[in-house]
Structure formats: structure tokens, C-alpha cells
Amino acid sequence: MTSYTDILVGDAGLAVVALRMRDDEKKSCPFVTSGGCKIYEDRPWSCRIYPLKPESTDITEKSGKEYYSVMDVPFCLGLAEDKVMTVERWKTEQGIPIYLEMENPFKKITMNKSLSNKKIINKKIQEMYYMACYDLDRFRRFVLESKLLKLFEVEPETVEKIKHDDVELYKFAMRWLEYGLLGQHGLKVKPDVMEAKKQELRNK
Ligand code: SF4
């Protein structure tokens, strides 16, 4: 991943992975070639939604609705076409729905007010966050090889799915972060584990 990305640190002290642009005058994309996009099938969300631009204001946030404007970019030849289509159709044709499905649980965490008001400096938490958000192979090994599944109640079908399904694994990673970072009920500790912990505290 690090061949094409830079790892930045956001305001909350957590990693933000950004595409590393070429070191040329235009800061061009590393995947653009004379024949087009080298990774077209896997191009990121921002390339798919282009030339639409999401508009976000307090009003749109409160209403829970999405609004878009069309960017005024003369070099986008698609804008010169007669074809008219709705935003919804554009999003579907560009394969956006799966990106939204992945983004919603991520936004639930990163845009949570309790997180934006604090700065995480604990290296272990920073590392766990990075792994859950950006290193799914390592997160899968962590889930399957650590005692995590012994501590939390996880539906058997979810355990089966996360062994080979990256989308399900990512959703589980977000539940784990929700529990760990926000103290919310993304996951539930098993009753016997909870009881053993209480007993341990009573014996202290
Ligand atoms: S579509 Fe996106 S990823 Fe592909 S070349 Fe253009 S900017 Fe780069």
C-alpha cells in the first residue's frame, strides 16, 4: 500500500491514508497513462463520482439528504454530451453503492463528535485503528488468531463470512472500532467473560 500512498495524521491523531501524487508540475495521478486509467475497474470513489461534487452543509447533514453540484470543468468531455441522467443513475452506473455501504460505518466513527473533540496519542490505539481501516489482511489474521472471538458475541455466520469476504470483514472492523473507540455497542462482550471480569475485580 505504501508504494502509492502517504500516511497522514488527522486532527483526532488517527491515520488518514492519501493517494501519493506524482512529483510533477501538475501533481498528476500515478495511475494515469496515455491509454487512460491503469486501475479503471478499481478506481476510487472520488474518480467514480466525478464530475459531481457532494455538497455538505449543516442543513444537508441535519436532513440526512445528499446534494450534488456538477463541477464546471471544461476538460471533462462527458459534460459536452447530450445525455441526461439522474444523480442516482450516475452513482449506480459508476459502481458507487458498494463504496457508500463501506463508507457509512466509517463515517459513523470518524464523524462522531466524541472523537472529533479529542486527540488520541496512544500508539497502540493508533495502530489498531490503522489496521482495522487500512490493512484488512492483518486485521483478518488478528480476528482469527487472537482471542477476540472468545471475548465477544459474534454471529457464527459473520465469523464464517469474514474468513474470505473483505466487505464483511471491513464491516466487522468498523463494529470493533465503534466498540473500542466510541464505547458504543458495535460488539457485545460474552456474559461469561463479563462475569469473570467482575469476579476478578471483586477479588482485588
Ligand atoms: S480515474 Fe482516478 S485513479 Fe484513474 S487515472 Fe484518473 S485520477 Fe487516477
Q: For the segment 82-141, what is each residue's pLDDT rounded down to a tens digit?
A: 888 999 999 999 999 999 899 989 988 988 888 877 889 999 999 999 999 999 999 999
CA distance 197 to 104: 33
The residue whose CB lies within 8 Å of the most ligand 1 atoms, and thus the one to mutate among 37, 46, 99, is 37
132: which residues sit within 8 A by CB, 6+ positions away? 139, 173, 174, 176, 177
Contact predicate 68/53, CB 8 Å: yes
1 CA from centroid of ligand 1 (Å): 16
- pTM reported for the whole predicted model: 0.84
Report whether residue 37 contacts ligand 1, using a CB cutoff of 6 Å: yes
In the structure, what pLDDT confidence band is assigned to residue 1 with cuts at 50, 70 and 90?
low
Report whether residue 39 contacts ligand 1, using a CB cutoff of 6 Å: yes
Choice among 52-56, 75-79, 117-121, 191-195 with the minimum mean pLDDT: 75-79
Helix (H) / strand (E) element for 103: namely helix 97-110
107 CA from centroid of ligand 1 (Å): 23
Report whether residue 31 contacts ligand 1, using a CB cutoff of 6 Å: yes
